[in-house]
Chains A and B, each alone.
Chain A
Amino acid sequence: MEGTNSGEFKGHALSWHLDGGVIELALHRAPCNEIGSLSLTELESLAAALDDIENRAHALIIYSEMSSGFCAGADLRELYERAHAMGKSQATAGVRDFLERIHRVMNRIDASPLTTIAAVHGVTFGGGFELALTCDLIIADKMARFCFPELRLGLIPGFGGIPRLKRDLGNAVVRDLLLTGRSFNATKAQQIGLVSQVVSEGEALRAARATAAQIGKFDRKTSASAKQFIKPIPHEELRREIDLFCELFSRPAVEAGLKKFVESTDAQPYLP
């Protein structure tokens, strides 16, 4: 890691730089930006750096440099291996600590006075979907797919997904996404109000930059005030989500589900 207090950072899982009032956060951990302890540490560096660099910016763009997609969610392999090596209560305590930390990062991005844009393509699943949901706008390549597969493992989304979905979408759509675990394409995601723009393949970042340039024409304080008024952080529900996740995580069925996923040689391991 380097340069966390300046307008530039190059990490192993992600990098960012500030240019022309826009912070661009690039995710680049193979295979598809799975969020594990390394990504979390580097995301925490971003959250800390925002205190210093936010006043020089008006927008934050989050995008992926991986061809497979924006982010496939939590690193389930790491989660399984760590949990497997520990006792049950220690594993649950470790998961709670991880969730508390990732929630602090997600809440920091969600509450940023900057206008935040997720430029997504391909797989936008689980924790990756939750990261996109912290942003004010989601601009999607037409090949993007959105999914909360957690119920397939006997879990719920744990990075703030349910409270943020409930804040942004109608409850029937939220139930469809969560209870079926099916994935939506970008067109569907736009129809339900999740995505603000659908663009051609490979064009999401360009469209996000054009949007950020437009936002830069407005008074920063006015934009921040408007955002604070229309985008409250659902703190109480976020707390409850962590408690519920940990309660579910302690059940034997979850370890069995994670084991099955990690050891799967199935061509479609994302399917139940």
Chain B
Amino acid sequence: MQTAEKTLDEILNLAAAHFRVPREKLSPDADFFKALGIDSLQTLDLLTRLEQHFHVELPDYELQGVTDFRTLASKIQARL
């Protein structure tokens, strides 16, 4: 199983590439709504891309209240 740090790094890379935000501007504890400038529909898009990348299912209710990359990574790590 891959490490939590690697999971977090892959999420940041994926988000930066897809939403065209410089990778260095994304920090693990950043609010991803603000950092990526995304709305609720784009959040669903991100969720789908993460599920595909990590080959996991992420029930959207588990993401309620999750706003930073580090917590998001922990939710994914728990399903790897």
Contact = CB atoms under 8 A, between A and B. Distances in A.
A214 to B, nearest CB: 28
A143 B48 contact: yes
Interface stretch (A41-49, A127-135, A177-185, A244-252): A177-185
A32 B44 CA distance: 14
B40 A268 contact: yes
Given A68-B41, A69-B41, A122-B41, A271 B48 contact: no
Using C-beta atoms within 8 Å of the partner chain, give the interface range for chain B. 20 to 34
Interface stretch (B8-16, B21-29, B57-65): B57-65
- What secondary structure prevails in chain B residues at the interface with A? helix
A270 B60 contact: yes
A183 B41 contact: no
Nearest to B49: A143
A180 B59 CA distance: 9
Interface residues of A, number: 25
Nearest to B57: A188
Nearest to B31: A267
A28 interface: no
Contacts of A272: 61, 64
A268 B52 CA distance: 21
Interface of B: 33, 38-41, 43-45, 47-49, 51-52, 57, 59-61, 63-64, 67
